[in-house]
Amino acid sequence: MNSYSFNPTYYEISWNNNTPTDYSGLTGNQAGGLDSETAWQIQSLIKTTGASAVTGTPFVNGATIIINEYYVTFSASDTLADAIAKINLMTKFTGVYADQSVATDYITLQNAPGYEGTPFYLKEGNGTALATLGLNAPGFYPSGQYQNYFSQVAATAFACSVSCGSKININNVTITFTGTCGSNIQSTVSQINSYTSQTGVAAEVAGPYVQLESSGWTQPWVVNGGTGCAPCIIGFPAGTYSGYPSNITLSQDKERANMRWTQAVSQLESTATPNYFGSIVRTGNIGNAALNTITWTVGYEQYSQLYTQALKCEPDYPASFYGTAAIQRWVARAMVETWSSNRKVFAPCTTSYGGRASYSNSARILNITAQGIDTNVIVVSNNIVVTQIPGV
């Protein structure tokens, strides 16, 4: 009996929003760039950042961490960048990916695209690699459990110390710093978490920052002020915090970016259905701005089906494109065309009451237009790099 096995060819596709042509300053219907996630998905992200900086090659051979019951193994020559790459090789199994998006030299773990809002679990494996990455710092939930959203990282890094007797008021609950008096960031976090049952807000260390997060309520919170400069030292001045994107305009921009993504996927399926589509890595301000870059991988079984011809409206008609050039042209078309659609948009609008806040009509059906970011498909193509992955 003859048997058949798939042997796809894999390609890495990378969109750069900033170079060689810089599209980061576009506004209105052209804003947003390209993004695999909607505003709702971004608002639902669960993320955590290591409490300590990772420099040099701090691991030992055979050290492991466990993410959602999958092992990641490190070697003595691994840097933080190497550790991140190894974690991301397991993303398709764990639903978690890593980067340095909060601060350089600090690892951040968060839901991978498609897993937004899904709790994840970390454990020490062989050795102390989890501690080396700073991912064993105690937060509100039991060690290694991450199940809360939404979250926000402080606007400024934790500054010096919170003086004894100073106060911060969260959701109309006053927290008075005592004991160790917030002499370090972990002490401050622990004291905020001792009031979580009253405030509905938990805290954790996020590199050099404090991260606050909704604790089961999935509602915005209010920092009502404080004394002794506690709010400014912690990095959360008085105001209402409703997650990311932080306003309706930015939410609409994220929808435009996701509409272009949908069209890019459609274009990539125009002559053949990919056998694999994933390994998405995004860089930049994920919550509140157009991504700097987004990179993903596709796999096709039949190379001969990767073909397109320049359209009559394109300046290089009737040129033909094969393989990587065809993939590049398909993605470029998604970026220059204009699309309109009714979308369920996350609206971070809030209503205040009694020192607290709640969302006010956070789900809105809006007609969104995603205008092409350029009129010249060739110019846009220069911001797209497609590479065949060898030996896969």
For the chain, the structural domain boundaries read: 9-40+246-388, 46-147, 148-243
Q: Is the pLDDT of residue 1 over 50?
A: no
Structure tokens at 281: 């890595």
pTM: 0.85
Measured distance CA(69)–CA(127) in Å, rounded:
16
Query: DSSP 3-state assignment of 197?
Result: helix
Measured distance CA(172)–CA(242) in Å, rounded:
16
Backbone dihedral angles phi then psi of residue 30, each to the nearest 5 degrees? -90, -5
Ranges of beta strands (E only) in 135-241 are 145-146, 151-153, 167-170, 173-176, 201-206, 209-214, 221-227, 239-241
Query: DSSP 3-state assignment of 372?
Result: coil
Structure tokens at 111: 């839901």
For 240-261, write each residue's pLDDT tens digit. Answer: 998 889 899 999 999 999 999 9
Between 383 and 145, the higher pLDDT residue: 383
Query: DSSP 3-state assignment of 341?
Result: strand
**Which of 116-130, 145-159, 175-189, 319-333 shows the lowest per-residue confidence on average (mean pLDDT)?**
175-189
Considering the segment(s) 46-147 as one domain, its CATH architecture is 2-Layer Sandwich (3.30)
Measured distance CA(330)–CA(381) in Å, rounded:
9
Between 367 and 390, the higher pLDDT residue: 367
Are 146 and 121 in contact by the 8 Å Cβ rule? The answer is yes
Q: Are domains 46-147 and 148-243 of this chain identical in fold?
A: yes
For the chain, give the mean pLDDT: 90
Measured distance CA(45)–CA(137) in Å, rounded:
20
Q: What is the DSSP letter of 41?
A: H
For 336-359, write each residue's pLDDT tens digit. Answer: 999 999 999 998 888 888 888 888
| CA 73 to chain CA centroid, nearest Å | 24
Residues 6+ apart with CB under 8 A from 307: 271, 320, 321, 322, 326
Question: Which of 99, 227, 112, 102 shows the shortest CA–CA distance to 152?
Answer: 102
Query: DSSP 3-state assignment of 333?
Result: helix
pLDDT band at residue 4, thresholds of 50, 70 and 90? very low
Measured distance CA(142)–CA(221) in Å, rounded:
22
Are 231 and 158 in contact by the 8 Å Cβ rule? The answer is no
Backbone dihedral angles phi then psi of residue 270, each to the nearest 5 degrees? -70, -30
Q: What does R_g of the chain's alpha carbons equal in angstroms? A: 23
Q: Which amino acid is at 389?
A: I
Measured distance CA(15)–CA(291) in Å, rounded:
9
Count CB-CB contacts under 10 A for residue 125: 18
Structure tokens at 165: 């007797």
The label of the residue with tokens 């809360």 reads: 148
Measured distance CA(355)–CA(121) in Å, rounded:
34
Pick the CATH number of 148-243 from 3.30.70.2120, 3.40.50.300, 3.90.1150.10, 3.20.20.80: 3.30.70.2120
Measured distance CA(374)–CA(383) in Å, rounded:
12
pLDDT band at residue 391, thresholds of 50, 70 and 90? low
